[in-house]
Amino acid sequence: MHVLESFALNTGLKIDKPYIYEKFIPLSINEDEKYIIVHPYTDSKSKNYKYWTETLNILISLFRDTKYKILLLGEVANLNPNNVIVQTLPDYAQLAFLIKRCEAFVGTDSIGTQIASSYNKKLLAIHSNFPVENTGPYWGDEENKKIIDVSRVNGLPSYSDDEKDPKAINTIKPERIAKEICELINLKYEYPYKTLYIGKEYTNRKVELIPESYLLNYQDFMIDSVIVRMDLHYNLSALEKQLTISSCSLVTNKPIDTKLIEKYKSRITELIYFVEGKLSEEESQFYDALRSLGVVYHLASRLTGDDLNKFKLDYLDYPPILEIPYGDKSDVEKKIKNKSNIHYKSSSLIVKGTKFYDNLLLDSHGNREISTIISEPKPVIDEEVFWRGLSNMMILEKTS
């Protein structure tokens, strides 16, 4: 039973078409242009889809040279701004004003889908924690509605506003949403990729500096701090120069001069130390110095299981060692088996000198530098070092 019907049954009230007060809100859209509202977020954590950036970037490519623009209610990180109008979250009266004039509405199960249905607008409603028969868009013609309902993907609906990972909504592939939207507005869908795998860190964009030199224009990449990979190239002078420019997160497998740490501790967001064996006296003194200086630090290791347990007791007086193994091709072997034309996208930007890369192969094995912040699909390079960055990658099959 729909919640509205349950309410009517319990109160004795009759369900009728709602009246919604509208309040004007200005928009910079030409008369010959049409806009599609994308309302990505709600107060319910279970309904907040993790891959809106990816979905919207697909739509932006499909909307190019069309009359359609995307009106995005709220901000989405790392988004290509072309064909997108970003609008701060309106109140309900302003939302009604915008929906009444839109070509179509896209959103998770929320007040927006109900308002859109009351205006009989074309809409795509995404349901995850509540099934559509309970909270789906109530009004409007059925031919104007498209529904993606994954509420039972993990068994029964959770009915929870704070689902734990893996959240049901994040099982939806970005291209599925994009395709449903295109069908909704009768636009040809021509995205030539199918998602096979999304790494758990893919939505966390990061800029990593190999400290052969320093990065001046870090703000161009829309980040607050630079990750300095001292574990890949140990260079104290380049590290110090970068600390004078920006805040930094340090990744190292060797102790760093504590005088430098003390001098720039206000610029050090955190320090991650990768443990590779038994605790040495030099490392012990370094950890003690970090603690006394008040620097936030974590211990991590690429080793796991018994290989790590052999020397864990040495570190009892220090923070727990986090197991952060490198990615490996075996992690996606079943998903890419018998697939051809395998491509990838990466959320990691690696800076080496004046060149930018999106994987740890850097300039080896024919890997090419990249020239844009927005990652484009590229053929996979089947090398062990390439797969190390799998957690920051999306693996795709090119279908046409």
Across 283-287, 296-300, 358-362, 367-371, least confident range: 367-371
Phi then psi dihedrals of residue 162, to 5 deg: -140, 65
Instruction: Tell me how many domains the chain contains.
Output: 1
**Could you report the per-residue pLDDT of 37-83, keeping only the tens digit for each?**
999 888 899 999 999 999 999 999 999 889 999 999 987 766 666 66
Between these two residues, 111 and 363, which has the higher pLDDT value? Answer: 111
The answer to whether residues 397 and 347 touch, using CB atoms and an 8 Å cutoff, is no
User: Mean pLDDT in the chain?
Assistant: 93
The reply to whether 175 falls in a domain is yes
The reply to whether 388 falls in a domain is no
Whether 355 shows a pLDDT value over 80: the answer reads yes
Helix, strand, coil percent content, the chain, rounded in steps of 5: 30, 20, 45
The reply to whether 92 falls in a domain is yes
Whether 94 shows a pLDDT value over 70: the answer reads yes
pLDDT score for 350: 94
C-alpha 301/C-alpha 308 separation (Å) is: 8
> What CATH number is associated with residue 114?
3.40.50.2000
The reply to whether 125 falls in a domain is yes
Between these two residues, 193 and 89, which has the higher pLDDT value? Answer: 193
The reply to whether 104 falls in a domain is yes
**Could you report the per-residue pLDDT of 264-292, keeping only the tens digit for each?**
999 999 999 999 999 999 999 999 999 99
The reply to whether 155 falls in a domain is yes
Task: Show the domain range for 17.
Answer: 3-191
The reply to whether 159 falls in a domain is yes
CB atoms within 10 A of CB 175: 20
The reply to whether 273 falls in a domain is no
The answer to whether residues 57 and 81 touch, using CB atoms and an 8 Å cutoff, is no
Q: What is the pTM of this model?
A: 0.90
Alpha helix positions (H), the chain: 3-11, 52-63, 92-100, 111-118, 132-135, 174-184, 236-245, 258-263, 281-293, 305-309, 333-336, 384-387
pLDDT score for 323: 96
